[in-house]
Structure 1
């Protein structure tokens, strides 16, 4: 299906924040971000292509986002422990762990033969923790990222605008390196006239000898001083051109830096106003904020702001229901095993409905939270499905909602666990053809 709106963004699935032993980082989905972490949260400095701007934003805005980052860190630590266990116990590499369709643990040798009962008992006894972690990993694979799939609305933000501010960029050119010049030797010190004692004056020849030695020292000093002046003049002549060139380079660098610093201060001073009036800045900031969200599935969004920046139209390509988990797993209570059950068609459809409505609520909240001048938006969700009559894959709109900021603000953002995203969307102007079991029919979108 062709895009209806001129701005599009493809958001990669995954968790954005990475918490590790080497510090905090972000995934490749957050383009051009530098990250800082402190007691007040994790912040990123994000560049805005085509604007010359960058801004500072919090990357762990919601409690759930921070929890997912911590869970991802636990997954990474678990993987490291598994690697260590294999390194310390090479024989484990010759074993295969698997599950049957009901979640029972299958242990076999490399050639596929089941382990003998005694070997199985020893393995379960000696590597209980490692097998437990492997089962947790398999459970996550079966369930998918259920938090992002079923409850994306738990990440929605209040429509109160965030305190985004321009991030002043340091001047990119390094300070010119001053050439190393040879230093002139220190000037020779003129010998002081001797102080004659009364003995020097009465002892025959002593005074004359002292004066003669002093005069010789003065003559030597005069010769050394002349040589020093000549060397000093030579060095000054030799260094005059490179010194002048460096000074000119330094002056030009300082002028460029001053221009850069003035521009950055002006950008910082006008950023808040541009976020309300410059639709290019508004567009790029919204793209950056959407990119920084955790997403369960690859998501394609196209949108367009009107010239005033007060009205937004937005389309989102929703995931197909076929990509949703058809089973759910939980840890066995007594034995090392999983309990795997098939989901009913109704459950899958209801989880899908909850997901797509939650995604849309999240997009609505991100738009209002990011753009202070935005008053109203229309968001429409579509998905691909097979037309049984033609055998062609078609894109059908599933629902479309017109939302005003004031109405959206009526949600209790402090009690999102009690919010049903399917019902929440009904508070707005809504076009939707959905059965009580979560099955959608095609609609014509608003706008």
Structure 2
């Protein structure tokens, strides 16, 4: 009986703690994210951190104008992190066919991946912050400087999106979207070849 009473009291304490946390979260969702910039930032970062990325992806945020404008910087995975091989199964038999990908295939894969990251983050941000009307997302990776040899951050693209334009995307038909072209309909800074070779760009700042 003593063990039962101890277990019951521990369960009650854990339940009280859970209920209090849920009540705080409910208050944030129903009121905090409409008026408190710090709670907006915490709630957004909590949502973005819950995303399970296939490769390491680090996101930092800044919220301005009482939550109407959001700036997101994304530290992208590197080209070297992309898979190098593809696997396929024949129509007959069970022997798996593994082939090396060409440099162009890897570049195209990377191109789609980094644009997909931006697309997901933009959607998650507008969903998490109902007051946000404009979002600037700038995505960068680490690359060696050709002049010095030192590794520096280089922005691959920077895009400015307003909520109204974003809402015109048909999210019920995502499978038919060209994820690389989706961001091109917005105010986009990007210097990229058709095969996915990027040149660095200057990202949008708070003043344009």
Q: What range is the shorter-chain TM-score in? A: 0.7 to 0.9
Gaps of 5+ in 1: 1-33, 35-46, 48-52, 55-166, 169-263
Cα distance between partner residues in 2 of 1:270 and 1:384: 36
Q: 1:393 — aligned with what?
A: 151
SS in structure 1 at match of 2:66: coil
The answer as to 2:187 corresponding to 1:429 is yes
Cα distance between partner residues in 1 of 2:34 and 2:137: 20
Cα distance, 1:421 vs structure 2: 1.1
Cα distance between partner residues in 2 of 1:307 and 1:396: 27
Q: 1:337 — aligned with what?
A: 95
Cα distance, 1:355 vs structure 2: 0.6
Q: 1:105 — aligned with what?
A: none
SS in structure 2 at match of 1:410: coil
Cα distance between partner residues in 1 of 2:180 and 2:66: 31
- Output the aligned Cα RMSD: 2.0
Matched ranges for 1:244-263 at <5 A: none
More displaced 10-residue stretch of structure 1: 313-322 or 283-292: 283-292
Cα distance, 1:314 vs structure 2: 0.8
1:188-239 Cα shifts (integer Å, max 9, x gaps): xxxxxxxxxxxxxxxxxxxxxxxxxxxxxxxxxxxxxxxxxxxxxxxxxxxx
Cα distance between partner residues in 2 of 1:293 and 1:302: 14
Name the TM-score, length of structure 2 as normaliser.
0.84
1:157-195 Cα shifts (integer Å, max 9, x gaps): xxxxxxxxxx22xxxxxxxxxxxxxxxxxxxxxxxxxxx
The answer as to 2:198 corresponding to 1:440 is yes
SS in structure 2 at match of 1:357: helix
Cα distance, 1:270 vs structure 2: 7.2
Q: 2:132 — aligned with what?
A: 374
The answer as to 2:67 corresponding to 1:309 is yes
Q: Which residue of the other structure, out of 362, 365, 376, is the alignment partner of 2:120?
A: 362
CA, structure 1 residues 434+270, in 2 after alignment: closer, same or farther (shift >3 Å)?
closer
Contact 2:138 2:159 in 1 (8 A): yes
Q: Which residue of the other structure, out of 254, 262, 275, is the alignment partner of 2:33?
A: 275
Cα distance, 1:409 vs structure 2: 0.6
Moved segments of 4+, more than 6 Å? none
Q: 2:141 — aligned with what?
A: 383
Cα distance, 1:316 vs structure 2: 0.1
Cα distance between partner residues in 2 of 1:290 and 1:325: 24
Q: 2:56 — aligned with what?
A: 298
CA, structure 1 residues 303+270, in 2 after alignment: closer, same or farther (shift >3 Å)?
closer
Contact 2:156 2:201 in 1 (8 A): yes
Cα distance, 1:344 vs structure 2: 1.7
User: Larger relative CO (CA 8 A, sep 6+): 1 or 2?
Assistant: 1
1:400-429 Cα shifts (integer Å, max 9, x gaps): 000000001111000000011110000110
Cα distance, 1:268 vs structure 2: 4.8
Q: Which residue of the other structure, out of 349, 352, 355, is the alignment partner of 2:110?
A: 352
Contact 1:279 1:307 in 2 (8 A): no
Gaps of 5+ in 2: 1-13
Aligned length, in residue pairs: 188
Structure showing greater Rg? 1
Contact 2:161 2:186 in 1 (8 A): yes
Cα distance, 1:307 vs structure 2: 4.3
Q: Which residue of the other structure, out of 162, 166, 181, is the alignment partner of 1:408?
A: 166
